[in-house]
């Protein structure tokens, strides 16, 4: 039994259709969800896609974090550990809503960056079976506020608790300040907590080699597998 994945559209989302398409390429049953949705019982997992929800007014993700679907999402995470994946703006929304630790700040160089980077898996996760520690993935970024931040006193706990998930690395898989495109603390490109995970790069834009990489297929495929396994157990 495959999972049914919901992809939420907020006013200003621009990667929702891309994400639906990418999941459908993996054979997943998908459903488009509007930001006013309050019932999540019909889905096994939810993706908050990239884009510029509410035009990124105030702070990126700040207004979307107050949407009705986030209230439902928080309840579903707490009561049934609903798997959630945030991509770029989705990452920002999840931190604003308090479902993930930290915050996404403006890039240190003050520029919008749209290019390719390598990320490395730091911590294995039951939600991403098959993505072993050390696995390198080539994925594109496209953001102006992607500099992940937690206070120094919380950074160690992030790693100790297995919540630090992805790091930007160079082409040889090594940590380097030069490989950090936005000034993220500890080169962090993605974090996870419980059933919620997020990353700044866009796996839905890396589904075919001719696009520059098909590593997004590996990442999304692993998440879909994890969601499907949990759905089977739950049913």
Q: Report the half-sphere exposure of 103 (CA within 13 A, side-chain side).
A: 8
Q: What is the pLDDT of residue 58?
A: 87
Of 123, 145, 163, 204, catalytic? 204
The reply to whether 88 belongs to the active site is yes
pLDDT at 233: 74
Q: Choose, from 88, 96, 117, 163, the residue flagged as catalytic.
A: 88
Residue spans per domain, the chain? 4-234
CA atoms within 13 A on the CB side of 55: 2
pLDDT at 234: 73
Q: Which two tokens stand for residue 212?
A: 């520059």
Divide the 235 residues of the chain into consecutive groups of 10 and give the mean pLDDT of each group.
90 97 96 97 97 93 98 98 98 98 96 97 95 97 97 94 97 94 98 98 98 97 95 74
Q: What local confidence, expressed as pLDDT, does residue 137 receive?
A: 98
Task: From the candidates 123, 143, 163, 202, give the one annotated as an active-site residue.
Answer: 202
Tell me if residue 38 is catalytic. no
Active-site residue flag, 15: no
- CATH number for the region 4-234 comes to 3.40.50.880
């Amino acid at each position: 039994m495959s999972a049914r994945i919901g992809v939420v559209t907020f006013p200003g989302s621009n990667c929702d259709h891309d994400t639906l398409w990418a999941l459908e390429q993996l054979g997943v049953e998908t459903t488009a969800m509007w930001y006013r949705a309050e019932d999540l019982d019909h889905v096994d997992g939810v993706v908050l896609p990239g884009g510029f929800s509410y035009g990124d007014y105030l702070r990126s993700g700040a207004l979307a974090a107050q949407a009705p679907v986030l209230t439902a999402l928080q309840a579903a995470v707490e009561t049934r550990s609903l798997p959630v994946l945030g991509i770029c703006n989705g990452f920002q929304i999840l931190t604003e809503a308090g479902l993930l630790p930290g915050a996404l700040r403006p890039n240190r160089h003050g520029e919008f960056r749209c290019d390719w980077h390598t990320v490395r898996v730091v911590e294995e996760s039951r939600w991403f079976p098959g993505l072993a520690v050390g696995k390198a993935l080539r994925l594109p970024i496209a953001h102006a506020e992607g500099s992940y931040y937690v206070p120094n006193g919380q950074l160690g706990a992030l790693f100790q608790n297995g919540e630090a998930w992805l790091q930007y690395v160079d082409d040889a898989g090594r940590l380097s300040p030069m490989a950090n495109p936005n000034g993220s603390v500890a080169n962090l490109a993605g974090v996870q907590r419980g059933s919620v995970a997020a990353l700044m790069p866009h796996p839905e834009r890396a589904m075919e080699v001719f696009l520059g990489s098909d590593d997004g297929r590996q990442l999304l495929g692993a998440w879909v597998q994890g969601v499907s396994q949990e759905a089977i157990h739950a049913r």
